[in-house]
Amino acid sequence: MNDEVIHSEAIYGMKTKGPLVRIAWGDKNMMVTTTDAKRIAYDLLDTAHAADGDAFMVHYMQNKVGLPLEGAVQVLADFRDERVRMNGEN
């Protein structure tokens, strides 16, 4: 994992005459609209919750069901595939 920190800053765009968000990560910088910044934030939050849920499922399958790690991870992958199939997700 990288120790770089993601930093954000509220900006008033003089050229756009509107609100912007500057996102910096290491030596990379980008400006986004507040709508895009909110979408990115919501996506990160949703992904973090999903990762927590995945970790719980693997833990549960190992400790309560008795599956080895490889089996628990395979069940997780099967659940994801079935969800995609049922919901018509890509």
Q: How far apart are alpha carbons 35 and 19 in whole angstroms?
A: 10
Instruction: Give me the chain's average pLDDT, please.
Output: 93
pLDDT, residue 88, reads 83
Whether 25 has a pLDDT exceeding 70, the answer reads: yes
Please give the average per-residue pLDDT across 26-48, as a whole number: 96
* Global confidence as pTM: 0.76
pLDDT, residue 58, reads 97
Q: Go through 4-21 and write b for each residue having 16 or more CB atoms within 10 A of its CB, e for each that does not.
A: eeeeeeeeeeeeeeeebb
Q: How far apart are alpha carbons 30 and 18 in whole angstroms?
A: 16
